[in-house]
Structure 1
């Protein structure tokens, strides 16, 4: 696509990742964000209308129903957005020759594993959220041939609420915080994920990807790192998942192997601790 400016449509423009990505327009790439108010993905006619008018080269579907616990009590809403919404975008994107990149989740796995999940491991979601995101993956794979599915985990960034911001807030108010020490995964900084997605959709290396910052930690270790990197003296106390019951089950082990990134010669995301350092510096500089 040399010489021509690439146009990317990003859904979920009010979300953590969407807000980060709409600020990533450059001389080569024009990024147009749509919030749910501007384009309701559950409305096929609206999806067709927007994509026909914009004619993007690719759609990055970052919009989702992400209220993990609430989904347990309103499954219809979760499936409507995450499954049917993805189907609608797949149909509209395909009709207009646009690639579609769907941002999915580590919750498609049951978390019972002990070694990193690769892209071809069997999925077995345990929560409504995970099942609805998996349903979106399946619909996309059957309805569109130029697709990317990018599963990510433990996302945080400058926009919206997330674990890092919560810890910084609690750390400022308390001497110690209690954090689960029996769930292992990989944090992901929205800026690094956004950069990766923009690079990915410019290729034709279609398929399923796992993308998170590299390396692993428990939530407890993540919290410790947040306090250390911020120079806060807050103490971190470990606890078990059972001590913090939640309506939706969380994967115990959701470390993902980035084999598709390696096999397709793409650039992996930086180590999680390095990304955290960059993010905290950004917050400070604001």
Structure 2
């Protein structure tokens, strides 16, 4: 099966009268080697149901179809969603029955919409929504065990950052609630049409159990948001509003075994889980 190259991508775009938009984060991969690399690094198997968000003109879709049991492609653009099955039927007719296309916003998509339980996320994600999409899908699709996504290089660094890193922040900590996340390699600008103004990067994740805690995910994430909203402040100060008072914040931190003068960028997801748990325990005595 031949994949989509620069000539094929531009011909499809002309046929559809398509003008790629920044609003939808439309940068289409025109290099077959890149999509083959993504599929290889994703380590998909013939038993996998692959979820692809933002398939665009189908470059990655065509590379995925021979390697998995099914591809569920979620595309927000109605023109692209209508064209994708036609492209697959033309270029890979023997594999067309493995493809399901859902015209929808991935940020509003849940398990009941997909028709199959995806096991792996493999996608060239639109830059403008990449972090919300990853976190949303990990939250609502427990069947998703692993993934490999292409995102803006800066976002890749943030998602995979460890505590203490200069770029460690809210995306890093929240992603760690769901999975072990790591950088899987760089991607240059020239593999896209139109070429973006930034480099891209690959991020892989493997789901794991969240920290053992009596606090809910929402409570833990609220603590994370508060800690990084004023990341240069000490946790005692940054968490004051979240906890109710500076004294309540300090009490929760001390009970959790965290230095109140530390900053959020030094803490891992387990630390935030303990803080949220002890804020709940400290609440009655702090009112």
Same fold (TM over 0.5): no
TM norm structure 1:
0.36
Work out which structure has the larger RCO, using CA pairs closer than 8 Å and 6 or more positions apart in sequence: 1
